[in-house]
Structure 1
Amino acid sequence: MADVAVMGDAPAAAPAKKPERTVYAAGGGRKFAFSLVFLLLLPFFVSLPPMLFWRISQGHWHGTLGLVVLAAGFTFIMFLVVIELMHSLMTRIELGDTSVKMTLPAGRGPTPIVRYRSHDIPYDQIKAVETRREIYGGSVAPVLLQGARLILKDDSTVKLGYVSEANSDPCFPYPEIAQKLAERAGLQLEHKGNVRRSLQKKYFGLKKEFLAEAAGEVPEAEIDALNKSHRKWVMRLIGLLVGLVVLGIALDIIFPPSSGLPPALTSITKLVMPDSTTASTTATPAKKK
């Protein structure tokens, strides 16, 4: 009886601690940096179309092709800056007590575009949280991305995003976010393995699902071999560049420049065509006589 009384007087179990509110968003430094870069480049970018129009309308074709190439490259750079600026200003993930509020890119593919969509998803409406490693390219320049998505109880999907294994984003660590979402929803994080993806299928709409059937499963051993091969190719490229620099310096030391050509080009010209250079120098005094 005494034992029963003691057990009855035992204190009740402490209530489960609610998870803390966690917010993932770009910091003020990143927002300021991309805004500053965009504002600095914008006047130069806006001035390119009038310059091209004036040169073409006036018939000034000398140097116009180079200006067109410059404008195309500048446009591509501005496009990337706008994408990163929008991503830093718009993307936000807030893990609350009972739901997750997210503003994420609405476009497909690893690169966020300018369309964004907001979600407010209760944890009890999440059916599964999945991650997967996607591999693009070959041994020369492989790209390994970690992707994460939510599957809701109505079988709809919400893509969280991608993060590169070589250069992870500290503001948006999507695998970590997926793990925390699974814990708050009372689920196990499901890893769907490693698959090789095609950029053409990814960006041209041949595969509509985020985690659709891909080119095939890739074992961990093959990924390790892929990384080793990539490191070898990178070291070869570095060695080639260092060798070219050393060769250029050596040519400039052995053959000092004596014309208006760049030093390396002058050295190569003397090395390849020594007779013509000597003949031209000896023929000049004869004409003066």
Structure 2
Amino acid sequence: MGDAALAAPIKKPERTLYAAGGGRKFAFAFVFLILLPFFISLPPMLFWRLSQGVWTGTFGLLVLAAGFTVIMFLLFIEVMHSLMTRIELGENSVKMTLPAGRGPTPVVRYRSHDIPYDQIKAVETRREIYGGSMAPVLLQGARLVLKDDSAVKLGYVSEANSDPCFPYPEIAQKIAERAGLQVEHKGNVRRSLQKKYFGLKKEFLAEAAGEVPEAEIEALNKSHRKWVMRIIGLLVGLMVLGIALDIAYPPSSGLPPALTSITKSIMGSATAPAASPAKKK
């Protein structure tokens, strides 16, 4: 009786919910709905111009429409991700609604799961590297491996900018603790965007996929920082050069200031007024 009285009660794990906050949902939905009327008006404008043979400014409008389409698609993905994604760590199981698409970017298809902890065989994480030395992207991915050998992807977070609403490595750690497992880190893997998203053959790939040692990752980060500083220096130099040209050659026509300066530098002698002929006595 004494041992039973002294035994501490087993503390059950608390319910933990991971989901986007109301502010995030409102912000993405508000921006998307504000831009939607302008986006919808682009196809009629383009159709009218093409049908009437109005070509002035049509090419620029096509470029604007293409860029606008990409922006609206990315916004729609973020709206869906904010509204749909949800991970609930319960007492006996984990309930999740996650993107069903492949790759680190969420898509519009979602799938719900209710996985008991005793059905989880392993919890795995790994680092995936995309790109080269100029613009490398390092992502931390996590997934669950069930006892029937099927895998459920949790998601990815960027090492440079982690998502506070969905810290997937932290979620994987908590799921492993509730399942009585250790998180297995599967190392660093170089991935190809072309191969992953478009299914291109190996001969079309710029770089091979495979294991990446920590030393190479450190060298990759150093090279990336150097390239970023070079690009910043180039942009600053161009800006200083443009300001210097505008100060040295003030614009006097309807051309952009920098173009006016260059035009004057190149064609200054050609546009000089010819000397008037001498008067006859």
| Alignment of 1:243 onto 2:237 | yes
The 2-side partners of 1:77 and 1:138 are apart by 25
Spell out the pairing of 1:1-289 with structure 2 (5 A cutoff).
9-10=2-3, 11-205=5-199, 215-278=209-272, 282-283=273-274
- Once the two structures are overlaid, the 10-residue window that deviates more, 53-62 or 85-94, is 53-62
Task: Report the Cα distance in structure 2 between the residues aligned to 1:204 and 1:263, rounded to whole angstroms.
Answer: 44
Q: Write the deviation string for residues 200-246 of structure 1: whole angstroms up to 9, x where unpaired.
A: 11112479xxxxxx822111111111101101100110011011111
What residue in structure 2 maps to residue 210 of structure 1?
none
Which whole-Å CA distance do the structure 2 matches of 1:131 and 1:9 have between them?
A: 45
Structure 1: where are the runs of 5+ without partners?
A: 1-7, 208-213
Q: 1:284 Cα shift?
A: 9.6
Q: Aligned partners of 2:185 and 2:223: how far apart in 1?
A: 25
- Counterparts of 1:231 and 1:21 in 2: how far apart (Å)? 42
* In 2: Cα distance, 1:92 partner to 1:164 partner: 19
> How far is the alpha carbon of 1:277 from its aligned partner?
2.7
Aligned mates of 2:200, 2:232 — CA distance in 1: 37
Once residues 148 and 178 of structure 2 are traced to their aligned partners in structure 1, the CA distance between those partners, rounded to angstroms, is: 19
Q: Which residue identity does 2:210 align to in structure 1?
A: G
> CA shift at 1:93, angstroms?
0.3
Tell me the residue number matched to 2:205: none
Q: CA deviation at 1:62?
A: 2.1
Deviation at 1:285, TM superposition (A): 7.6
**Structure 1's 284 and 116: CA in aligned 2 closer, same or farther, altered over 3 A?**
farther
Q: Deviations over 1:146-200 (max 9, x none)?
A: 0100000011110000111111100000000000010010000000000101111
Partner secondary structure for residue 113 of structure 2: strand
**1:64, CA displacement in angstroms?**
1.7
The sequence identity of aligned pairs, in percent, is: 84
Report the count of equivalent residues: 270
Letter in 2 for 1:119: H
What amino acid is the match of 1:250? A
Cα distance per residue 1:117-148 (max 9 Å; x no partner) = 00000000000000000000110000000010
The one-letter code matched in structure 1 to 2:22 is G
- Runs of at least 5 residues in structure 2 that lack an aligned partner in the other structure: 202-207
Match of 1:3 in 2: none
Further displaced range: 140-149 or 215-224: 215-224
Runs of 4+ residues deviating >6 angstroms = none
Distance 2:276 2:172 in 1: 81
- CA RMSD between the two structures: 1.7
